[in-house]
Structure 1
Amino acid sequence: MRRLLTINPWLYLLCFVLLVGAVLGQQYRLFERVWFSVQEWQHGEQWREHSLWLGDYRVAIEAKPISGISDVSALTFDPDRRTLFSVTNKPAKVIELSLEGDLKRTIDLQGFGDPEAIEYVAPGTYVIADEREQRLVKVRIDDATRVLDAADFQQLSLGIGRNGNKGFEGLAYDAANQRLLVAKERDPVRIFEVLGFPHIDDSRPLALQVNTDPKRDARLFVRDLSSLDFDAATGHLLALSDESRLVIELNAEGKPISTLSLLRGQHGLKRGVPQAEGVATDDEGTLYLISEPNLFYVFRKAQ
């Protein structure tokens, strides 16, 4: 009589643990993060000299509430006014903040369905991203601005991989190359490069081009994208992920070279950042961050 083959139940358990570990590792991009840590350790001294090097940053202002505001999303630095701008979508508003996170004013938005990002592109000129419609709107803001109606301004709609409310979530502007970088939140994570919008020079014809970089996007070991920021001094891009609790610095070739963790105990944080939605840097390298519902953070490089 043939004997039945028996398998040790511990082997079943081991296989199950390995399977779960593989799934979680893929879902949270753990293998890529471990490999990046090895690369960062090997090349750290070389990369530090030519980058922001986020590992050296420490929190200076932590979780400061922005009075009278909720549902903040995105952040951009205005070098002319030396203030920060953000947007809220319930209700739809642009808000202006001091560099210490104090509310200076609010501007009502009309004709915007789901504003999720705002980006400074030139003196008095900004782009606002409407997430679900995948629409970009060029607006003008000055001291007297109290209301912005989307119908009054230049617009661009991009129906690229539309996926409900997983649309445009972050903006960054490279002024030297006049390119607008647009982050798609997830499913899949993407960064689009838009050339020709906003149309700054009315004396020249509109020439629109949209590019992607699949290799760069594949290197983004994050689960989603919440915000972008372009640092003109280094030519590097910052990508913020809420779900991965991470800011990644990408060099000009799109390769990750440094990170800033938003978990408790990292970079001096007493508590983890609950829902990071916006990141910006100023011309002195100071990093600003906001989190829903209304929390403001400042990180500065340790001397």
Structure 2
Amino acid sequence: MATPPLSALKPARRSRFSLRWHTWLLLVAVVAYGVAFAMHWDARAALWVKEQFKSPAERQASIWLPDYRAVIDAKPLPGMEKDEASDVSYDPQTKTLFSVMGKNPFLVELNLQGDVLRKMPLVGWSNPEGVTVLGDGRLAIVDEREHLIVIVKVDADTRELNIADFPKYDLGPSKDQNKAFEGVTWDPRNQQLVLGEERPPALFTWSGDGKVLTGDKLKLASHALDMRNLSALAIDPRTGHMLVLSADSHLLLELDKKGEQVSFIALLRGFNGLKNTIPRAEGVTMDEAGTLYMVSEPNLFYRFEKQR
């Protein structure tokens, strides 16, 4: 039965109908505000407005994520449906990608099209969540559950890695031990690792020469990390700008050398060439040409290229 217009209702019924209607509107508004607050859409809107005032020269000097489009969209990594892709890093020497699987620990080498070249079991690791290429065959792997960084050596003949064979560094306690260090990237210009805590999102640096780490990690001011969690980090080798990935916020954010927000993309259906929302983006990296690579749980591979 169609709902009668308010004018046809008796005053008491009209009052109750109006009250219910306004209650529903208020409930919808509260839920919408809660979602927007949790997803930091207000911050995204503010950054989008700032993006519109960037000059062509400023855009040219940055990564400028709005110009990127997915050219490989949700390509499955075969046989890894239950392994949970956790991070990915580009190796400029081999022109390949290295990715870690968190649930069943192993390191996988991929070509730039997302094809599997080899799988290397990680013996002794508990929950590898971050990986970055240091150079000369060395990689740093973060074990989130054990709060460790391990620097490993990989060559063309490597078929397995045992944690007992490599130097390990204690990351220390986190505010939330179950949501601890997850992101890691090598900053060659400053000769340091940049580490990311998952929740609450925070950044740290740790000096080194690509072979060993020295001193201790130092916390960075990270006021620009208005996201629900931090999943992965990467450094653009051309500009030195940092990419910060958030699976929970479906967001990839660009920060400049001062840690200020520059640009972003939403990893949602219909944006930047994506046919569907990236389920859980856990890893990101960039090559010297500016091509972006991303992995998502459970076993999906993405490649983004700049279109302008």
TM-score (norm 2): 0.87
The aligned counterpart of 1:203 is none
- Alignment of 1:49 with 2:50, yes or no, is no
Question: What are the Cα deviations for residues 217-264 of structure 1, in whole angstroms up to 9, with x where unaligned?
Answer: 222221111111011210100011111111111111111111122111
Distance 2:236 2:173 in 1: 26
Alignment pair present for 1:173 and 2:178: no
| Contact 1:236 1:249 survives alignment (8 Å) | yes
Distance 2:31 2:73 in 1: 35
* Equivalent in the alignment of 2:78: 67
Distance 2:113 2:211 in 1: 32
**1:192-241: per-residue Cα shift (whole Å, max 9, x none)?**
111237544xxxxx731322223xx2222211111110112101000111
| Counterparts in 2 of 1:140 and 1:199: CA distance versus 1, 3 Å | closer
**Aligned counterpart, 2:207:** 195
Which residue identity lines up with residue 254 of structure 2 in the other structure? E
Q: How does 1:1-303 map to 2 (within 5 A)?
A: 9=19, 19-43=30-54, 45-70=56-81, 71-186=84-199, 188-196=200-208, 199-200=211-212, 207-214=214-221, 217-303=222-308
Mapped to 2, the partners of 1:194 and 1:95 lie a distance apart of 25
CA contact (8 A) 1:197 1:208 kept: no
| 1:196 and 1:209 in contact (8 A); partners too | no
Moved more, 14-23 or 170-179: 14-23
Alpha-carbon distance, 1:69 to partner: 1.9
Which letter does structure 2 place at the counterpart of 1:60?
V
Identity %: 39
Task: Give the partner amino acid of 2:73.
Answer: E
C-alpha distance in 2 between matches for 1:62 and 1:16: 37
Cα–Cα, structure 1 residues 63 and 21, in superposed 2: closer, same or farther, change >3 Å? closer
The count of residues paired between Structure 1 and Structure 2 equals 290
Query: 5+ unaligned residues in a row in structure 2: which ranges?
Result: 1-14
What SS does the corresponding residue of 1:272 show, helix, strand or coil? coil
2:278 partner SS: coil
Q: Secondary structure at the match of 1:160?
A: coil
Which secondary structure does the structure 2 equivalent of 1:37 belong to? helix
CA distance in structure 2 between the aligned counterparts of 1:89 and 1:265, rounded to whole angstroms: 29
C-alpha RMSD of the superposition? 2.1
- Any unmatched runs of 5+ in structure 1? 1-5, 201-205
How many angstroms apart in 1 are the aligned matches of 2:211 and 2:55?
A: 39
95-104 or 152-161, larger mean C-alpha shift: 152-161
Q: TM-score, normalised by structure 1?
A: 0.89
State the SS of the aligned residue for 1:34. helix
